[in-house]
Structure 1
Amino acid sequence: MTPPTCTFLHLADVHLGCDRYDSPERSKDFFFAFQDVVRRHAIQKRVDFVLIAGDLFEHRQIQPGVLNQAQLVLRELKRAGIPVLAIEGNHDSRPYGVKTSWLRYLAEHGELILLEPEAGEEGLQLRPWAGGQGGYIDLPCGVRVIGSQWYGSAAPKSIEQLAAAIRQLPPGPERVVLMFHHGLEGQIARYQGALRYRDLLPLREAGVGYLALGHIHKSYAEEGWIFNPGSLEATSTAEWELSRGAYCVQWGEGPPRAELVQDYYQRPCRRLYLKAKGRETPAEIAAAALAMAREVGPPGSGPEPVVELRLVGQVGFAKHELDSRVLQRQIQQLTGALVVLFRFEATSLEIGSATLSFEEEEQRLQIEEKVYRDLLSSHAHYRKRSKELAQLLLDLKERVLEGQSEAEIYAHLSSAFVGEED
Structure 2
Amino acid sequence: MAKFLHVADVHLGFDRYNSKVRTRDFFHTLWDVFERYAVGTAVDFVVIAGDLFEHRMIQPAILNQAQLCLQQLQTVGIPVIAIEGNHDNCPYGTKTSWLRYLSDWGLLKLLEPSPGETMYVPWDEATKRGGYIDLECGVRILGSSWYGAAAPKAIQQIAAAITALPPGPDSQILLFHHGLEGQIARYSGALRYGELLPLKAAGIHYLGLGHIHKYYTVDNWVFNPGALEANNVEEGAFERGALTVEISHGQVNAQLETDYRQRPIARLSLKLRGQEALEEVEGLALSVIDRAIAQKQIILEQQPIVELRIEGQVGFDRLELDTRQLQSLLQDRCNALIFLLKYEVDAVAYGTPLPADADRHHIEREIFTDLLSANNVYKKLAQPLAAGLIDLKERQLTGENEETLYGLVEEMLLPAHGLSAEDPATPAEDHSR
In the superposition, the TM-score normalised over structure 2's length comes to 0.80
Shift in Å at residue 21 of structure 1?
A: 1.2
Cα distance in 2 between the residues matched to 1:40 and 1:155: 34
Aligned 8 A contact 1:219 1:230 in 2: yes
User: Is 1:362 matched up with 2:379?
Assistant: yes
1:43 aligns with 2:39: yes
What residue number does 1:125 align with? Answer: 119
Q: Any conservation in 2 of the 1:156–1:199 contact (CA below 8 Å)?
A: yes
1:175 pairs with 2:171 = yes
Matched, 1:256 2:273: no
Q: Quote the sequence identity (%).
A: 54
Is the 2:49–2:176 contact (alpha carbons within 8 Å) kept by the matching residues of 1? Answer: yes
Name the CA distance, whole Å, in 2 between partners of 1:282 and 1:116: 60
Q: Secondary structure at the match of 1:307?
A: strand
AA paired with 2:184?
A: I
Task: For residue 297 of structure 1, report the CA deviation from its aligned partner.
Answer: 2.4
Q: 2:305: which partner in 1?
A: 306
- Give me the whole-angstrom Cα distance separating, in 1, the residues matched to 2:152 and 2:140: 23
Match of 2:292 among 268, 290, 296: 296
1:107 aligns with 2:103: yes
The equivalent position to 1:92 in structure 2, one of 88, 113, 119, is: 88
Residues 106-130 of structure 1 deviation map (CA, whole Å, 9 limit, x = unaligned): 001111100000111x4x6100011
- What residue identity is the alignment partner of 1:269? I
2:113 counterpart letter in structure 1 = P
Q: CA RMSD in A?
A: 1.9
In structure 1, the residue matched to 2:320 is: 321
1:198 aligns with one of 177, 183, 194? 194
CA contact (8 A) 2:156 2:198 kept: yes
- The AA in structure 2 aligned to 1:334 is R
The verdict on how the C-alpha distance between 1:170 and 1:366 changes in structure 2, with shifts beyond 3 A counting, is farther
Please, which of 217, 224, 229 is the counterpart of residue 225 of structure 2? 229
Match of 2:185 in 1: 189
Please tell me whether the aligned partners of residues 318 and 346 of structure 2 are also in contact (alpha carbons under 8 angstroms).
no
What residue identity is the alignment partner of 2:224? N
Cα-to-partner distance string for 1:262-291 (whole Å, 9 max, x where unaligned): 000100111110000011122211101101
- Cα pair 2:104 2:128 within 8 Å, conserved: yes
Call closer, same or farther: CA 1:206–1:254 in 2, change over 3 Å.
closer
> Given the superposition, is the C-alpha separation of residues 170 and 292 from structure 1 closer, same or farther in structure 2, using an over 3 Å criterion?
same
Moved more, 263-272 or 90-99: 90-99
Alignment coverage as a number of residue pairs:
361
Pair 1:237–1:197, CA change in 2 (3 A): same
1:73 paired residue among 62, 69, 74: 69
Whole-Å separation in 2 of the counterparts to 1:350 and 1:343: 21
Give the 3-state SS of the residue equivalent to 2:302 in structure 1.
coil
**1:350–1:79: structure 2 CA closer, same or farther, 3 Å change rule?**
same
Give the Å deviation of 1:335.
Answer: 1.2
SS, match of residue 159 in structure 1? helix
CA drift of 1:300 comes to 5.3
Shift of 1:314: 1.3
In the superposition, relative to structure 1, how do residues 140 and 301 fare at CA in structure 2: closer, same or farther (>3 Å)?
farther
Q: Corresponding residue for 1:335? A: 334
SS in 1 for 2:10: coil
Residues 156 and 300 (structure 1), Cα distance of their counterparts in 2 relative to 1, 3 Å cut: closer
The CA deviation string for residues 314-342 of structure 1, in whole angstroms up to 9 with x for no partner, is 12222321111221222122211111110
Give unmatched runs, 5+ long, in structure 2. Answer: 353-366, 385-433
Distance 1:132 1:165, change over 3 A: same
Q: 2:241 aligns with which of 220, 238, 245?
A: 245
- In structure 2, the CA distance between the partners of 1:258 and 1:361, relative to structure 1 (3 Å rule), is farther
Q: 1:38 to 1:361 in 2, by over 3 A?
A: farther
Which residue of 2 is the match for residue 372 of structure 1? none
Residue 364 of structure 1: how far off its partner (Å)? 8.3
Paired residue type of 2:307: E
Report the equivalent of 2:423.
Answer: none
Are positions 1:287 and 2:278 aligned together? no
Partner Cα separation in structure 2 for residue 128 and residue 106 of structure 1:
19
Q: Which amino acid aligns with 2:190?
A: A
State the 4+ residue runs in structure 1 displaced beyond 3 angstroms.
298-302, 351-357, 361-367
Query: Structure 1: where are the runs of 5+ without partners?
Result: 368-422
